[in-house]
Structure 1
């Protein structure tokens, strides 16, 4: 394992009525849960081949016997009042443990590939920060070599202004932008993913 690099993903505990709530308004809670479980499986398959340390941060409680093999993934509890605080605490914990490059990704991107994360680690060689823009105006990936607390403050998390406001904070730093991807939040986001649509009403 490459002890200098760390990949983090944040997950919600897959419970009925508590995941993909915007999507559930259209397709119902059982289908939204089935799709979220499929997204988690996809994320795990993307992270597993990476040659770095790996950590999963749970929203509610740490689970032992799930898809995240504890011999491969460090397991932590998210802490903080909002998404920015929770991400900041995860980065701080990683840097405190002497990681040199840390990347965080979401767990609801069906277009995410292992290559995106490998590219991000590579681009951190020559840039201060790497961002993966999401089509909804947020970002699906954030990577850095040192902690930048300003990135986690004064953001309207979950809105279309997050990426724009984050880039404003990084005027003094060198930033590399990966390709834009779409996360799965609404029924329209399923349009090009027939295998996800097959999970509806099962």
Structure 2
């Protein structure tokens, strides 16, 4: 990794009742918040040691005095659909002069620093690097130069996101490489067993909303 590499992180402010709502449907709002806070901590742990520049894009409002104070630049996502938010973030970061840019969310417990470093390495020989998610989406997208067409007319938050993105990449003539597949946390069943054990006191506590 070098000075021409940058990482974009899409995050939300950890707020009870507003994060991981599909987890909350099973385990309650307190458990959902605890799961998301754990995901944020994991994402921070696997990114803070990277030698590239890092940009945190908040979904709603920029938060002060949180995990992302040291070594991260803070920005706000555009208030449009996911595709345009992704493209806008890429455009802003590429506009600062970077050559290779990757974006990740904060939902992947299988993400590692080694995977991220591998993604940037692969961008030296590819136009596009994708980390497939097992639900049909992706947990990482790496690009050399912003291409808006890659984000147009994609059925976001469906099992067809990866397939549609790969189809668009082929149409655009982009040389693409795939990282190993990983699982995102969307529902309580997606939460790693070890994490569930740690969160047992939260999910069973009075007022947690567990079912």
TM-score norm. by structure 1 comes to: 0.95
State the Cα RMSD in Å: 1.2
Unpaired stretches in structure 1, ≥5 consecutive residues: none
Shift of 1:3: 2.5
1:122 equivalent in alignment to 2:121: yes
TM-fit CA distance, 1:152:
1.1
Q: Which runs of 4+ in 1 moved over 6 A?
A: none
Deviations 1:126-146 (A, max 9, x none): 110000000000000000111
Matches within 5 A, 1:43-192: 43-69=43-69, 71-171=70-170, 172-190=173-191, 192=192
Q: Distance in 1 between matches of 2:2 and 2:194?
A: 36
Unpaired segments ≥5 residues, structure 2 = 203-211
Rounded to whole Å, the distance in 2 between the matches of 1:11 and 1:200 is 25
Q: 1:201 Cα deviation (Å)?
A: 4.6
Please name the residue that 2:198 is paired with: 198
Give the 3 Å change call, closer, same or farther, for CA 22–108 of structure 1 in structure 2.
same
Deviations 1:42-93 (Å, cap 9, x if unpaired)? 0001100111000111011111200112x30000000031111111110000
Decide which structure has the larger Cα Rg and report it.
Answer: 2
Distance in 1, matches of 2:51 and 2:59, equals 25
Structure-2 separation of matches of 1:188 and 1:13: 23
CA contact (8 A) 1:133 1:179 kept: yes
C-alpha separation between the residues in 2 aligned to 1:124 and 1:15?
A: 35
Number of equivalenced pairs: 200
CA contact (8 A) 1:7 1:103 kept: yes
Q: Is contact 1:10-1:107 (8 Å) kept?
A: yes
SS at structure 2 position matched to 1:170: helix
Residue 31 of structure 2 aligns with which residue? Answer: 31
| Corresponding residue number in structure 1 for 2:207 | none
Q: Deviations over 1:126-185 (max 9, x none)?
A: 110000000000000000111111111101111000000000001111100000000111
